[in-house]
Amino acid sequence: MYSWAHNRRFNGYTEYIRKAFDGRVQKVVVDAGFTCPNRDGTKGTGGCSYCNNDAFNPSYCNPIEPLHAQIAKGIDFHSVRYRRAFRFLVYFQPYSNTYAPLFRLKELYEEALAFPGVAGLVIGTRPDCVDEEKLGYLADLSQRYFVQVEYGIESCYNKTLERINRGHDFETAQRMIQRTHELGVRSGAHFIFGLPGESLEEMLEEASIISRMPIDTIKFHQLQVVRGTRMEQEYIANPSHFHQFSLEEYIDFIIRFLERLSPSIVVERFAGEVPPPMLHHLSWDLIRYDEVLKRIEKELERRDTYQGSRFKVQDSSKRLDSIRDLGSGVQ
């Protein structure tokens, strides 16, 4: 048994969320029609160079439909697919879901929480789209519901964030993760491996940097070059600037990264999936994420290694504490 109290060789999200609710809980994605400050001209236009939200929105998710209709469709979809799911988290995913006045956020979040079977919220956003007032409101909500803010950070390196037109620096992400933690709101983070200009050594070093942040959960995606994005044009012009992982290389990289990552951080996902027609090229054929995960776990077992096996306590000396008890304050 590992420090996360189950037998998988990494601190897994399925077990994390099951502990909070004593059963299976499923995320229902909704599109509430938000945008981003680097799309609407506030900080820039065109968005992040890799971004095409159609690449990961589920079919039942349509911003034209009212929020309650999207939730109903999502619950119906997951109730068939996952029959053991009896509670749901509404996942505000596309674009920046705190990028609106607080009164509008309250309307949307509270409408979602009032829907039968909904136990909480996961709110995807950018670290430059939150402030004290919004976090204070989310802190109040988190006393009664499961609430998590999921920050798109993507890279720890400002050179990369500038190159992909992210519109904020890494220091902004660090500050907001810290403040979210101080106010007692759960936080998640999202990172992409293989962004242009980053070496394998730089990507591996991010494990130590991330481990110094009070993050509750984390998602990792390999870079996938999506059709119709500015990154596709950059890739066509300069493919040598990109590190395109083969599946075998990515599994090796993820395991080496995982060994260096703090065991207190819950891993939600190791890789991403984009519908094949939307990709500039297929690098892993048609292998689904479930198979990728099986191969990662099999290789962890073969190497007899696990998350944090090479982690040093001093690497996270700035981390404030371990993950809070999931069961507290959740209806």
Q: Residue 146 domain-assigned?
A: yes
Q: Residue 116 domain-assigned?
A: yes
Q: Which tens digit of pLDDT belongs to each residue from 221-235?
A: 999 988 989 989 999
Report the 10 Å Cβ neighbour count for 245.
20
89-98, 265-274, 308-317: segment of lowest average pLDDT = 308-317
- CATH label of the domain that carries residue 304: 3.80.30.30
Q: Residue 46 domain-assigned?
A: yes
Number of domains in the chain: 1
Q: Which tens digit of pLDDT belongs to each residue from 15-25?
A: 999 888 888 89
Which alpha helices (H) appear in the chain, and where do they start and end?
13-21, 67-81, 102-113, 132-141, 158-163, 170-182, 200-211, 230-237, 247-260, 289-303
Q: Residue 322 domain-assigned?
A: no
Q: Residue 4 domain-assigned?
A: no
- pLDDT value, residue 326: 32
3 state DSSP class of 3: coil
Nearest to 109 by CA among 80, 141, 133: 141
Q: Residue 326 domain-assigned?
A: no
Look up the domain containing 142 and give its range. Answer: 13-313
Q: Residue 21 domain-assigned?
A: yes
Q: Residue 330 domain-assigned?
A: no
Quickly state the pLDDT bin for 119 (edges 50, 70, 90). very high
Confidence (pTM):
0.89
